[in-house]
Amino acid sequence: MKKVLPPSIHVALTGTARGRGVFAGKVFLPGELVEVSPVVLVDCKHFDLPVEITHYAFSWQGLTGGASLQALALGYGSLYNHANPANMVYRGDVENNAIVFLAARRIEAGEELTINYSAPGGGAACEGERWFAQHDVQPCPDTPADN
């Protein structure tokens, strides 16, 4: 297994209805590694997980084409908010039981790090918001929260 180093990122409030988010601690260039999140694999269907966990779990099969497992990302992996397009892409790393998050474009220091919940295979952009419809939730607006 490769040595996993702490990423140059941190959790903070977004100032929007989305609550907390994960932010870049430095500039990330396109294709640059942002984080390697080890995963806990669970052998069940996605909607057999407790509802609170379904909002944080990844389809391991969707990421790797392998077994129909659910992956709970450790580190910051399950805390990234959604954007379409997102500024990161991600992929499953079967050999290391991890999810690898990469910059999809230049990301500035202090910018919120986002993934696309609906894009197939961890892509940055897609048409529609399939994930939200499947989970019967509305995407949070990217506007300041009421205080």
Across 38-48, average pLDDT: 88
Return the percent helix, strand and coil in the chain, to nearest 5: 15, 35, 55
Of the candidate ranges 24-28, 46-50, 138-142, the one whose mean pLDDT is the lowest: 138-142
Task: Name the phi and psi angles at 122, rounded to 5.
Answer: 85, 20
Across 33-40, average pLDDT: 95
Whether 95 and 28 have beta carbons less than 8 Å apart is answered as no
pTM score = 0.83
Whether 68 and 45 have beta carbons less than 8 Å apart is answered as yes
Is residue 93 over pLDDT 60?
yes
Dihedral sign for Cα atoms in the order 135, 86, 60, 118? positive
Q: Are strands 70-73 and 98-103 parallel, antiparallel or unpaired?
A: unpaired
Please give the residue that has the higher pLDDT: either 99 or 56.
99
